[in-house]
A and B are shown apart, each in its own frame.
Chain A
């Protein structure tokens, strides 16, 4: 007799809707594999398959059907056996458009990126669309330039320049000439810009901020071994006859 019942052991690529995110004790993603499981009844969905991330140390959470509804739930790419009892989540899924589709709605919108960057104080004159690789572009409904959600992470593959930019304007930029760290944005809402930034070049560090507070036991500003003199008076002080108190924890 020959084996009557066989099964395929291959792992294949599928798409699925995130049904539920992981929890603190089980961070696997629960997925409704599409289109195969599209007609499962709601009361069955507690037993939908749960897949871990393919690569250890990753967790793939997103808008999910259980909390946010099927319309908003995000899709993931899955690697699984044909019976879905064994599998992994690879990552968030793009939609596929055929050659004849004229508008690719999921396109990484360069003009949006350019606008996004320039509104947050970046010089986009020398930025070329084709030079950028966008690693993460995540926009949430609160991305209204008032400090809501959203993150863009990209790098220029020709120059190696790397940028991580929050919708509020907070960012980290690493280029060959400087490292730039900022919180807030100089141009966000047209009002008096509030931001703090640190610009590091090979020869200089520039801090821009309203208040610079250093919370340290000792502040060393130079190597001369001298203490800064201090006074509790806010009026100018002449030297003779006045006590000048050295601030021994601030040296220049």
Chain B
């Protein structure tokens, strides 16, 4: 999209595009519903006096290409535009910056996805069936004003045996899913993610399931930095069949957390469980099942960023007892601890554009420039070693990543649209021959 524009509708009425700014449309795989904030310029105070924005007002957002054809009525054509899900206003702030006497300034609006507003609180029993089936049934039963869509392709079956009826009581659908269902579900023996993306599509999946899908975008450096990797861009684009290549403006990377327990805890997770039927106590240790692949020869896809020798002397990295639960639910709950390692590696990428090729839950391929390439000295006594070292130029940041969150921002001007995405993965995805990582075989393998 060469000239991205955002249209914003208040209760189906188009808001002047010159008046709204500082738009942030946020969605994430670990945040159930997307959120929206923006500001409206109201220097005269008239909008505020008219009470145009009120709690529960519908906000619709459309992203379109200014240069693309429009419909006969002048609206963005559906083929070249993106309709986001419906939001409702939850909070309205006015600081009266222009003048306290005129009560003018800007109005800041916070919105949440409509399902939070149009929630169904009626109690209901869900017959014994897989938790994923219940979640899908709950989503399908959502109020039509909630504007969420349910497609079978976006729901992965959970592995629980489905032997327990579930009781929805005095709670919304989202709360019921989050507190009564998801804690006991596992997808492919790993923690589940349930989220509604910015288009209103509900998803139930796991990291491994989402990561297994082919990349939908190729993200590369700016033009002036592409020289060293130009051939790789072409090769990857052809391999992946991607027509669009997107350039990033800035990149930050994070490994781990100040609170080490968050990511360490699931690595050797010791759990105590008693079978509610037989009384037999089971004590066991579990490793997270989130690695995108296996370590095979030179390819390393299951190693996490701390050394093997640090782990072999560790009895456990966390311990807990699961009580007052059926064995089925206790097992599901234990598996949910995997979530801590899903974002062991987190890269934040900012692009100066409206990045719509990939959404949360999609995968992308990230390329960064060749790192510190040095030609071997032909006269060197260690020529073979230098030849090997000369190959180690592919930064470990390169490769396939999962889009964990996405924020589309629009500043003051109509054209100032940027997108920030968080990319995550739990392990290295490197080849020992060409990676810049020193001694990659020494890292602990999941």
Per a CB cutoff under 8 Å, which of B164, B169, B262 touches A2? B262
Per a CB cutoff under 8 Å, which of B165, B169, B324, B340 touches A3? B340
Bound together, the chains give a CA A40 to CA B126 distance in angstroms of 11
Are A9 and B182 interface neighbours, CB within 8 A?
no
Q: B127: CB under 8 A from chain A?
A: yes
Are B340 and A83 interface neighbours, CB within 8 A?
no
Measured between C-beta atoms, what is the minimum distance from B358 to chain A in Å?
A: 19
Are A44 and B125 interface neighbours, CB within 8 A?
yes
Are B169 and A37 interface neighbours, CB within 8 A?
yes
Q: B200: CB under 8 A from chain A?
A: no
Q: Give residues of chain B (30-56) contacting chain A, Cβ–Cβ below 8 Å.
A: 30-32
Are B167 and A84 interface neighbours, CB within 8 A?
yes
Per a CB cutoff under 8 Å, which of A2, A33, A47, A81 touches B325? A81
Q: A86: CB under 8 A from chain B?
A: yes
Say which one of B331-339, B360-368, B379-387 lies at the interface with A: B331-339
Bound together, the chains give a CA A38 to CA B424 distance in angstroms of 45
Q: Which of B182, B183, B333 has the most CB of A within 10 A?
A: B183
B-side interface size class: 35 or more
Are A5 and B179 interface neighbours, CB within 8 A?
yes
Q: Give residues of chain B (81-122) contacting chain A, Cβ–Cβ below 8 Å.
A: 122
Are B125 and A40 interface neighbours, CB within 8 A?
yes
Q: A39: CB under 8 A from chain B?
A: yes
- Contacts A36-B123, A36-B169 given; does A4 touch B30 at CB 8 Å: yes
Are A1 and B167 interface neighbours, CB within 8 A?
no
Q: B178: CB under 8 A from chain A?
A: yes
**Which residues of A are found within 8 Å of B190, using beta-carbon distances?**
none
Q: B322: CB under 8 A from chain A?
A: yes
1/0 contact string of B167-206 vs chain A (CB within 8 Å): 1011000000011101110000000111000000000000
Are B325 and A3 interface neighbours, CB within 8 A?
no
- Contacts A7-B180, A11-B324, A47-B165 given; does A39 touch B123 at CB 8 Å: yes
Q: A48: CB under 8 A from chain B?
A: yes
1/0 contact string of A69-89 vs chain B (CB within 8 Å): 000000000000101111000
Interface residue tally for chain A (C-beta within 8 Å)? 26
Per a CB cutoff under 8 Å, which of A1, A2, A7, A47 touches B184? A7
**Which residues of B are found within 8 Å of A6, using beta-carbon distances?**
179, 183
Are A7 and B167 interface neighbours, CB within 8 A?
no
* Dominant secondary structure at the B interface: mixed
Q: Give residues of chain B (149-173) contacting chain A, Cβ–Cβ below 8 Å.
A: 164-167, 169-170
- Contacts A1-B343, A3-B340, A39-B122 given; does A9 touch B324 at CB 8 Å: yes
Q: B3: CB under 8 A from chain A?
A: no
Q: A22: CB under 8 A from chain B?
A: no
Q: B378: CB under 8 A from chain A?
A: no
Are B123 and A4 interface neighbours, CB within 8 A?
no
Chain B's closest residue to A36 (CB) is: B169
Q: A10: CB under 8 A from chain B?
A: yes
Per a CB cutoff under 8 Å, which of A1, A9, A40, A86 touches B123? A40
Q: A91: CB under 8 A from chain B?
A: no
Per a CB cutoff under 8 Å, which of B183, B326, B337 touches A7? B183
Per a CB cutoff under 8 Å, which of A9, A36, A49, A85 touches B323? A9
Are A10 and B324 interface neighbours, CB within 8 A?
yes
Q: B276: CB under 8 A from chain A?
A: yes
Per a CB cutoff under 8 Å, which of B123, B164, B182, B404 touches A85? B164
Per a CB cutoff under 8 Å, which of B122, B125, B337 touches A48? B125
- Contacts A3-B339, A44-B124, A47-B125 given; does A86 touch B324 at CB 8 Å: yes
Bound together, the chains give a CA A2 to CA B326 distance in angstroms of 24
* Closest CB pairs A-B (n = 3): A5-B182, A36-B169, A7-B183
Query: Can you list 14 pairs linking A and B with CB atoms under 8 Å apart?
Result: A1-B343, A2-B262, A4-B193, A5-B179, A5-B336, A7-B179, A7-B180, A9-B324, A36-B123, A37-B123, A39-B123, A40-B125, A44-B124, A48-B125
Name A residues whose Cβ lies closer than 8 Å to a Cβ of B.
1-7, 9-11, 33, 36-40, 44-45, 47-49, 81, 83-86
